[in-house]
A = this chain, B = another copy of it.
């Protein structure tokens, strides 16, 4: 299960070391929204761009060497331009919207877009329905992208509102992947806005818990800080300790194992006391080799009893 940054990096590492049939990435689509009447799937796009090796590694979003001519012209035409749509990136949204408008579901469209760019890792949206995540903040109710991009995560988050609960269904492809899974890995993504929307899709959690598929979470918090984004701050705002303990609390009753960074080794004992298996390793992925290294160590640790 992955969002668009930490989880996406881990997914790339895993895609490189595992046989194609052994990995399914379930992507958060709670960040989805519409720009210029086009459905944008930021996490799916980040995953595809990363897996295709064309992502902009400097910014962490979009396509490398993209241009912004269209956006500049949109600005002249008076359109809102806080969401930085690159020209190449835009092609993805145009084709996606065309396919969706033609009646295909997001699962199939995602597969097709991935294949077009040479991505053959099985990448599935958490649901086919449009189920955006909203945040109650001290600046009112905001869509995830308004909070994240337009407001640069400045507002204080009071509550997270998932649309998945009422509106979404686990896609058949996700059901099948979970049905065959030997384990579930929760990537080092923001638990609240990247992973929780996936877990909120009705029936998905049961599909993991009932057969008792072992679940491993990789902490997105390292030494009390998020490597990128507002995770640590959001944890505090929502009543969790901004540490690996908070992460463990958040995933309580779901995970059996947690992977924490060496810098957090001090928490190992307390986590074990809560009944969790703990893997301590270097988890920071600042380069492609690091992604492969973390993925390899993770897979290794999952294959032997801790």
B116 contacts A78, C-beta separation under 8 Å: yes
A87 contacts B73, C-beta separation under 8 Å: yes
A69 contacts B72, C-beta separation under 8 Å: no
Q: Does A152 contact B (CB under 8 A)?
A: no
Chain A contributes a number of interface residues (CB within 8 A of B) equal to 31
Q: Does A58 contact B (CB under 8 A)?
A: no
Q: Does A172 contact B (CB under 8 A)?
A: no
* Complex contacts, A91 vs chain B, CB 8 Å: 70-74, 76-77, 79
A141 to B76, CA, bound (A): 38
A37 to B99, CA, bound (A): 10
B116 contacts A88, C-beta separation under 8 Å: no
B77 contacts A113, C-beta separation under 8 Å: yes
* Complex contacts, A76 vs chain B, CB 8 Å: 91, 116-117
Tell me whether A77 and B117 are in contact in the complex, defined as CB-CB below 8 angstroms, given that A70-B70, A90-B90 are known contacts: yes
The smallest C-beta distance from A285 to any residue of chain B, in angstroms, reads 27
Closest-by-CB residue of B relative to A96 is: B77
Interface string of A97-123 (1 = CB under 8 A from B): 110010000000000010011000000
- With most chain B CB atoms within 10 A of its CB, the pick from A66, A72, A76, A101 is A76
The smallest C-beta distance from A141 to any residue of chain B, in angstroms, reads 22
Q: Does A17 contact B (CB under 8 A)?
A: no
Closest-by-CB residue of B relative to A71 is: B91
The smallest C-beta distance from A304 to any residue of chain B, in angstroms, reads 42
* Complex contacts, A67 vs chain B, CB 8 Å: 67, 69, 87
Interface string of A79-95 (1 = CB under 8 A from B): 10000001111111011
A90 contacts B70, C-beta separation under 8 Å: yes
Q: Does A303 contact B (CB under 8 A)?
A: no
In the complex, 22 of the A-B residue pairs with CB atoms within 8 angstroms, ordered by the A residue number, are A36-B97, A36-B98, A37-B97, A37-B101, A63-B73, A67-B69, A67-B87, A69-B87, A70-B87, A70-B91, A72-B91, A73-B89, A73-B91, A73-B92, A74-B91, A74-B94, A77-B92, A77-B95, A78-B95, A79-B95, A79-B98, A90-B90
The residues of A with any CB-CB pair to B shorter than 8 Å are: 36-38, 63, 66-67, 69-74, 76-79, 86-92, 94-95, 97-98, 101, 113, 116-117
